Amino acid sequence: MFRTHTTKEASKLDGEEVKVCGWIHDIRVLGRIAFIILRDRYGFAQLTLIKSLIGNENFKKYTKLTRESVICARGKVQKTEQAKLGFEILPEEIEVLNQAETPLPLGVADKVSADMETRIENRFLDLRKPEVLAVFIARSNILRGIREILSEENFIEVHTPKIVATATEGGTELFPVKYFEKDAFLNQSPQLYKQILMGSGFDKVFEIAPAFRAEEHNTTRHLNEFISIDAEMSFADDEDAMRILEKGIQNAIKYAVEDESFEMLNRNLEVPKIPFKRITYDEALDIINSRGLNMEWGEDFSTEALKILGEEMDDFYFITKWPLEIKPFYVLPHEEKYSKAFDLMHRDKELSSGAQRNHVYESLVEVMKSKGLNPESFEFYLRAFIFGMPPHAGWGLGLERLVMIITGVKNIRECVIFPRDRTRLIP
């Protein structure tokens, strides 16, 4: 057995013998006594080395070990008020499993201060920092919270192809791939497939998978590969879809904040109350223009406009009833120039967009044409609309945008283990 206890398990004991394993976070030598701070995923343990107890040879050997080396220590745990952690381990034996070279390209014991590039270059080391790890524990808990709601609501988890022949969002932001003798692309969104599944009678589906966008802009909110959480439900309208989404967000936050590692993030976040406020696009426009901006009806919100809205609204809110012309072809038209589309916002940031969909073949084709799309290249999708397609609604939620908001990190790259941005393909 490599270890008998994690540092956290050991911290609860007094007088028992344990074997703990991890990385050397720090070593301090004070004459005839030395302290090795051992780190594992669960916390820290102080190994107290007393020269007279472990012998000159061993004392010399252990105090020469380098930071970030991997060791196992066997010894007695004892509670002590002198140690910062409230306990210490008096090792009888230290086994070196892997010696770390010096100097380290990135200090692990230092607080996060290195620039993003250096951090990502040395990501395996950066991820050893407890406050960096805490972001990924939150990410995992966020996913658990959302999955739980979707399962309770009877959604089936599915996976749809990521190598596809056509654009989903009808845009140009596609990565081409060679597919034997054919040209193919990496999918931007499972949109068309999740809708087809409504025609297949799956009733409620969700997918949590990568989405690829060849967007050129290099911002703190955009990735070229992100995780899209997509849901689609039948015999449902935009309001039904929003209700599931806000429940999912609420539960995600609940799970994230109740984990003890969340404290590492120094963030005081309350579980939001639902329902979130809904305002229509027109109401949002009025708010923005009443604050001195001159936004025309039918325009998308500028960064400046969203800033104003973010100041006026609660943390989470929906913008509903969007002009049809600025939403994708698949949203359901409503009252002539409007649609049943919505966006979920957090202050000035878009978190998710969704809609009740247009399930009427003729109308769908007409909207496609009006947006300059060729219905022929969407034949595989459109076929599902002529043999029995129920009314349906759904949404797509960017996981990393949600993780950003919940953990409070400022750069979306910090929410991905190995981010893909405009310039980065390695590691």
* Residues in 164-203 at the binding interface with ligand AMO, rule: CB under 6 A: 169, 189, 191
Question: Contact between 223 and ligand AMO (CB under 6 A)?
Answer: yes
Structure tokens at 279: 């305002």
Active site residue 267: no
* Residue 395 is a binding residue for ligand AMO (CB under 6 A): yes
Task: Point out which span in 101-109, 117-125, 353-361, 383-391 binds ligand AMO (CB under 6 A).
Answer: 353-361
Three-class SS state of 17: strand
**Spatial distance between the Cα atoms of 183 and 3, rounded to a whole number of angstroms:** 52
The structure tokens listed for 265 are 């993030």
Could you say which of 122, 353, 356, 358 contacts ligand AMO (CB under 6 A)?
353
Q: Which residue is nearest to ligand AMO (CB)?
A: 398
* Interface mask toward ligand AMO for 302-341; x: CB under 6 A: ----------------------------------------
- Candidates 58-66, 80-88, 94-102, 346-354 — which segment interacts with ligand AMO by CB under 6 A? 346-354
Nearer to ligand AMO, 189 or 320 (CB): 189
Q: Is 221 labeled as catalytic in the residue annotation?
A: yes
Is 11 annotated in the active site? no
- Label residue 78 exposed, middle or buried (CB < 10 Å: 0-12, 13-18, 19+): middle
Q: In whole angstroms, how far apart are CA 387 and each of 343, 359, 372?
A: 30, 11, 25
* Nearest-10 Cα torsion for 121, 125, 128, 134: -10
392 carries an active-site annotation: no
Q: How many CA atoms lie within 13 A of 423 on its CB side?
A: 6
Decide if 207 is catalytic. no
Question: CB–CB of 157/206 below 8 Å?
Answer: yes
Q: Which residue in the set 139, 359, 392, 401 belongs to the binding site for ligand AMO (CB under 6 A)? A: 401
Q: Among residues 398, 404, 415, 416, which is the contact residue for ligand AMO, using CB under 6 A?
A: 398
Q: How far apart are CA 392 and CA 233, in angstroms?
A: 5
Q: How far is the CB of 182 from ligand AMO (least distance, A)?
A: 24
CB of 353 to ligand AMO, least distance (A): 4
Binding window for ligand AMO (CB under 6 A); candidates: 42-50, 76-84, 158-166, 225-233: 225-233
CB proximity list for 29: less than 8 A, separation 6 or greater? 63
CB crowding 349-377: b at 16 or more within 10 Å, else e: eebbbbbbbbbebeebbebbeeeebeeee
Annotated catalytic residue 420: no
352 counts as binding ligand AMO under rule CB under 6 A: yes
- Residue in 147, 222, 346, 413 annotated catalytic: 222
Catalytic residue, candidates 400, 401, 413, 414: 401
Residue 215 falls in the annotated catalytic set: yes
Q: How far is the CB of 207 from ligand AMO (least distance, A)?
A: 10
CB nearer to ligand AMO: pick between 215 and 282:
215
Q: Find the binder of ligand AMO among 145, 248, 396, 419 (CB under 6 A).
A: 396
213 part of the interface to ligand AMO, by CB under 6 A: yes
Query: At residue 354, what is the residue type?
Result: G
Question: Alpha carbon of 316 to those of 135, 230, 345, 405: distances in Å?
Answer: 21, 19, 6, 10
Three-state secondary-structure class, residue 322? coil
User: Contact between 355 and ligand AMO (CB under 6 A)?
Assistant: yes
**Least gap, CB of 273 to ligand AMO (angstroms):** 22
Choosing from 5, 128, 213, 359, the catalytic residue is 213
CB atoms within 10 A of CB 113: 8
Under 8 Å between Cβ of 301 and 326:
no
Catalytic residue, candidates 3, 74, 144, 221: 221
* CB nearer ligand AMO, residue 46 or residue 228: 228
Shortest separation between residue 229's beta carbon and ligand AMO, angstroms: 8
- Residues in the interface with ligand AMO (CB under 6 A) total 23
Which listed residue (17, 215, 312, 315) binds ligand AMO by CB under 6 A? 215
Q: Which residues sit at the interface with ligand AMO, rule CB under 6 A?
A: 169, 189, 191, 213, 215, 222-223, 226, 228, 230, 350-355, 394-398, 400-401
Which residues are the active-site residues?
213, 215, 221-222, 350, 353, 401
